[in-house]
Structure 1
Amino acid sequence: MNFFVNQYLVTKNSSIEHAELKRLALFNGHEPGSAKLLTQDFAPTLDQTLERFGLQRDAVINMFDFFAGTTDYVGAPLKVDGLAYDGDLQMGTGNNFRELKRGGRLVSEVHFIGGTVAQVGNVDYFDDAGNLTLRQIYDLRGFLAVNQYYGRAGELFYERYQRPDGTVYLERYYVQSTENTPINSLNVLKDYQGRDRIFYDQEGLFTFFLDEVNRAFGENNRFFADRPAVAINPILNMTSKVKRYLWLAMRAVDDGQDLATGSLDTMVDAALQHGRKWTGVVVATAAQAADLKPRLPKGLKCYVVNNSPVKVDRTPILIQDRPAQRVIAVGRLGADKQTDQLIDLFTRVHTARPKATLTFYGYGNQADMQSYQERVKAANLEQVVTFADYVVDLEPVYDQASLLVDASRVDAQPLAMAEALSHGVPVVSYDYAYGPSELVIPGQTGELVPLGNRDAFVKAVIDLLSDPTKLQDFSTAAYQNLTPFSEATTWQQWQALK
């Protein structure tokens, strides 16, 4: 069994989670049931997320579900009219939450799960002074999942997790940090296999979970540390028989350092100090492997496995059948993606090609997004440069795009770039490390521009948008040159790990 270890699967995911989803599909397409995603964080709406991404319930094992014994629990939605409360309370009205009052005093608030109609998500209780004292969180499947208790200053200090039958399986205690945020200080797994088990932090609890999953599947399974900050230490600290793999969905050196000789990222360096425990290190590109191999502990293997497997049998859509000059950028928006620079570059493109449009598909933090929107407004391009936020199904987006642009300065392998090419969308990108040079064929399926050469970037975009024949040739070539990162090639690469 192959287990991909992560912190969460949420409604808006990064490329790490999207790569995992592609891996699950790849493995289960070739060997059904041979791969699962393991997640750490409490997820009362996991079933909603699984449906959003088209996953079956058994594709993901969540730590809390595992210990509660609810991985295959079905249940039924709990609507607000099915919630029991004292008869002398008056319930207000509202689409997102309802207040319960006794006379004029607020007793509690019933909050609904987003995307549902009046389905109970959590119920908050308040004392006479209006302070939150208790929050009851309900699982999407209709049962009370956890009671959270708060102090007079609003601090979380204790949680009690329970099963659908009301029995408690986990107690968690918290202390406050200097920033007044809760720090988990004690976890008591109740009556697990006949006795209570104590863990002094969530990392220890997560490690135990990984060991128990490994034992449940006969041991000697493969565990991949996908999200390093959460997965590395728990996988290293497992005591059962296991094959450990460090998946580097990131550069291995500190930001700004030479990729071959610079100081290793602190987290990566710490992981490699335990070289004998790892079965292998996995990277997505040959270029990163070449930089990393000389720096690995003696005997530790480095495998190259494409992180962006694509289908090669799509029906081609001609450029003339797509909206003219529709340019897209796909992925998280942020400083490392140089989103602000891309807006500036496209401002220059639009001057030369007034009918061209740019749409960003992805999310960023609130402050960054506001800054980008203000930048667009200042350039008077609000009708030209738009932000479509996070979109789950991008296939229709790719099929209607003329060009994908990427002004990032670093990555491990751009998932969106491979997806775009598989839909016949040419690419203009900075030639950053790692990924573009192993996906794009310059002069055939797109153009790679020296990192930071803004004039060359703008010229490459303008030239393609100005020449529909060349754009069509690039699109045709994109459809025809997918073998290096196809699903079939990727599956062959995975076989090397066996």
Structure 2
Amino acid sequence: MIYSVGENIYAFNSGIEFAQISRTKDLLANGEAAKIVTKEYNRFLSRDTATLGLTSDQYVNMYDYFQKATNVERKELSVRFLETVPLRDYHVTGVDANYSTIDYMGRTLAKMNIMPGTVGLAGDIDYFDRVGNKELTQFYDWRGFLSMEQTYHPDGSVALQTFFDIDGKPVIEIVHMFINGVVSPSMYKLLDFYGQDYVFDTQNQLFTFFLNELNSASQGVFVADRPSVVESVLGVVNPIKTIAYLHESHLEKNSITGEKGIKLAYEGIVAPKGKRFDLIATGTATQAAEIKQGYAVNATTGLQTASYPIDDTNKQTALTKLVYVGRLAPDKNVTALIEVFQNIHERKADTELYLKGYYASPEYREQIEQQIKQANLAEVVHVLDYSIDNSEIYQDASLFITTSENEGFGINALESMSHGVPVACYAVDYINENLVTNGKNGITITNRTPHNLAKLIIETFGDVKQVQALKANTLKTSQAFDDKHLVSQWQAAIKA
């Protein structure tokens, strides 16, 4: 079993989650046992995984596991038919589409919030004391059972969280106490697990216990896909192999000296003080070689972690529609991307830019929107809502642009190539030459400025035959990174 270990699967996911999903599906489709493992509590997990095309046997969440809810069919639970609310004694009043109230003798006892995206289904219920202070909240899982409830300290901060199995039995308690003036989790208690109670100081300790349960049931290869799960993965006893997968560069520039050093998040992987991973994997052989040469690690290798089916229907050779699909975040340097487009649009007025993804924060959204407005580009820059199906945006796209200052590989660029859409980017680690090669399947510049990239893009699209050659080579590149190649690489790495 190959366990891809991460934090969560969200409504809005990053490239890491998409890589885990692609890897797991490719391995399963080619006869390898594989599963995604997540750490964080998420009562919407079954909804979010279904949206991503995952079935319940392709992932396992720690809280679901202890709640005996790893394979539960969804039942719609109306707020008017909750067993915890006896309608003989209490009255449920529908206020609007978002919530109802529970009333008794003229007093509102509770507010029943409707499950997001549903009509009249139980989401969560806030209960109030006689003076209106919230004293208890009950949270219902998307699948229609009471999943967790929490009580509060007098200041309104969380005091105790209790998680229930599908039959209503308490299985986990998390105690929150004031530590140095801040309320934080201070104890995780696993209740009556095979007749025993277990107490942990941190969620990572509980997660380590959980991973060992998985390994006992089916010994496997554990892949740490996020730094936050490193401690727990290294705590697995007698796994087949432990692998740390770095989805981005392990280096960052010092803002004062300009020198490159290890990102703090990756020190425990590439420069460990204790136990080491059996293997450190990266998106490219180039990065793997750098880590092997510079640090005392057991072994490194470049491993493909995503693939996309080929769609060669795009025949666009004119420079009209430029696209970017991915997180809209500072580390993706979206401000420079807009500057690139601004330079292009000044010379080609019929061009438009489509950005598809989700913003890292409301503040960054405001910054980008303000930049677009000040550049007078509001009519030609379109920000599309995040979704998992990107086929429509690529149907008539001319070019995919990214101005990120570093990439672990660039799976969003690979996706565009699978649609025959060339990539324009800065010649940065580790996308340059490993995925995108200037003049072959894309456009790259070493002198990294928006003006220079825009100029080269316009020059390139002035030659239709060159654009046709780029498009043909993008499809060849995507074919080279197909699911068979991914699986063979992982099989070889595990056996090594």
Q: TM-score, normalised by structure 1?
A: 0.92
Aligned pair partner of 1:351 in 346, 352, 358: 346
Shift of 1:292: 1.0
1:409 touches 1:451 (CA, 8 Å); kept in 2? no
Give the drift of 1:12: 0.3
| Aligned residue identity for 2:132 | G
Which residue does the alignment assign to 1:40?
Answer: 39
Cα drift, residue 166 of structure 1: 1.5
Q: CA deviation at 1:473?
A: 3.1
Kindly state the Cα deviation for residue 249 of structure 1 after the two structures are TM-superposed.
1.2
| Deviation readout 1:62-114 (Å, 9 max, x if unpaired) | 00111122211225121222223454435133122223344664321111222
- Match of residue 50 from structure 2: 51
RMSD: 2.2
Q: Which residue of 2 aligns with 1:452?
A: 448
Please name the residue that 1:143 is paired with: 145
Deviations 1:124-171 (A, max 9, x none): 112233222111001112111111101221110101111121111111
> Which residue identity is paired with 1:337?
K
2:209 aligns to what? 208
Kept after mapping to 2: 8 A contact 1:414/1:436 = no
Please show how residues 299-378 of structure 1 align to structure 2 within 5 Å. 300-311=298-309, 313-319=310-316, 325-364=320-359, 365-378=361-374
Query: 7-16 vs 131-140, which deviates more?
Result: 131-140
Aligned-pair CA distance for 1:279: 1.4
CA distances 1:186-206 after superposition (whole Å, capped 9, x unpaired)? 111111111111111111101
Partner of 1:111: 113
Aligned to 1:284: 283
What secondary structure, in the 3-state scheme, does the structure 2 residue paired with 1:488 have?
helix
The AA in structure 1 aligned to 2:344 is: V
Residue 7 (structure 1) aligns with: 7
Q: Deviations over 1:44-70 (max 9, x none)?
A: 121111110011111110001111222
- Is 1:153 paired with 2:192? no
CA contact (8 A) 2:68 2:166 kept: no
- What is the aligned partner in structure 1 of residue 99 from structure 2? 97
* Map of 2:418 onto structure 1: 422
User: In the alignment, residue 490 of structure 1 is paired with which amino acid?
Assistant: L
| SS class of match (1:443) | coil
Render the CA deviation track for 1:358-412: whole Å, top value 9, x for unaligned.
1111112111011101111111211111211312111222223111001110121
Higher relative contact order (CA 8 A, sep 6+): 2
**1:7, distance to aligned residue in structure 2 (A):** 0.6
CA apart distance, 1:274: 5.4
Q: Is the 8 A contact 2:78 2:122 kept in 1?
A: yes
1:226 Cα deviation from its structure 2 partner: 0.3
**Residue 372 of structure 1 aligns to which amino acid in structure 2?**
I
- Which residue in the other structure is 1:249 paired with? 247
Q: How far did 1:302 drift?
A: 0.5
Tell whether the 8 Å contact from 1:413 to 1:435 is kept in structure 2 after alignment.
yes
Structure 1 stretches of 5 or more lacking a match? Answer: none
2-side partners of 1:207 and 1:13: how far apart?
24
Distance change in 2, residues 1:425/1:189 (3 Å): same
**How far is the alpha carbon of 1:469 from its aligned partner?**
4.5
Supply the distance in 2 between the matched residues of 1:103 and 1:462 (Cα, whole angstroms): 73
1:224 equivalenced with 2:219 (yes/no) = no
- Tell whether the 8 Å contact from 1:283 to 1:304 is kept in structure 2 after alignment: yes
The change in CA–CA distance for 1:8 and 1:71 in structure 2 (over 3 A counts) is same
Partner of 1:392: 388
Residues 275, 297 of structure 1: 8 Å contact kept? no
AA matched with 1:15: G
Cα shift at 1:466: 4.6
Matched-pair contact (CA < 8 Å) for 2:66–2:165: no
Aligned partners of 2:212, 2:328: CA distance in 1, in Å? 36
The 10-residue stretch of structure 1 (110-119 or 457-466) with the greater mean CA deviation from structure 2:
457-466
Q: How many residues align?
A: 487
CA 1:121/1:293 → structure 2, altered by over 3 Å: closer, same or farther? Answer: same
Q: Which moved more, 1:74-83 or 1:3-12?
A: 74-83
Whether the 8 Å CA contact 1:4–1:20 is kept in 2: the answer is yes
Q: Once structures 1 and 2 are overlaid, which stretch shifts more, 365-374 or 301-310?
A: 301-310
Structure 2 Cα separation of the partners of residues 324 and 97 of structure 1 = 49
For residue 78 of structure 1, give the secondary structure of its aligned residue in structure 2: coil
8 A contact 1:437–1:448 mirrored in 2? no
What SS does the aligned partner of 1:309 have? Answer: coil
Residue 19 of structure 1 aligns with an amino acid whose one-letter code is A
Contact preservation (8 Å) 2:246, 2:281: yes
Structure-2-length-normalised TM-score: 0.93
Structure 2: gaps of 5 or more residues: none
